[in-house]
A = this chain, B = another copy of it.
Amino acid sequence: MVEHLTADKRTLILQTTLDLMTEYGFHATPISLIAQHAGIGAGTIYRYFDNKEHLINELFTEIKKRVIKAMLQDYREEGTFKERFKHLWKNLIRYCIDHPKEFQFVEQYRYAPFVSNMTREETFIILAPIMQFFIESKRAKAMKDLPLYTIIALLYGPIVSLAKLHLDHNQQLTNDRLEQAAEACWDAVAYKSEE
Contacts and interface: CB of A to CB of B under 8 A. Distances in A.
Interface in A122-173: 144, 146-147, 149-150, 152-154, 156-162, 164-165, 168-169, 171
B181 A187 contact: no
Given A27-B114, A111-B107, A185 B154 contact: yes
Nearest to A188: B188
Contacts of A108: 111-112
Given A23-B113, A153-B165, A177-B147, A192 B187 contact: yes
Contact of A25 (B24, B113, B164): B113
Interface residues of A, number: 45
A157 B161 contact: yes
Given A25-B112, A188-B187, A153 B168 contact: no
A31 to B, nearest CB: 14
A4 interface: no
Contact of A181 (B107, B112, B153, B181): B153
A186 B112 CA distance: 32
Contacts of A59: none
Given A120-B169, A149-B165, 11 more contacts: A25-B113, A27-B27, A27-B114, A150-B180, A150-B181, A156-B161, A157-B160, A157-B161, A160-B160, A187-B187, A187-B192
Interface of A: 23-28, 104, 107-108, 111-114, 117, 120, 144, 146-147, 149-150, 152-154, 156-162, 164-165, 168-169, 171, 177, 180-181, 184-185, 187-190, 192
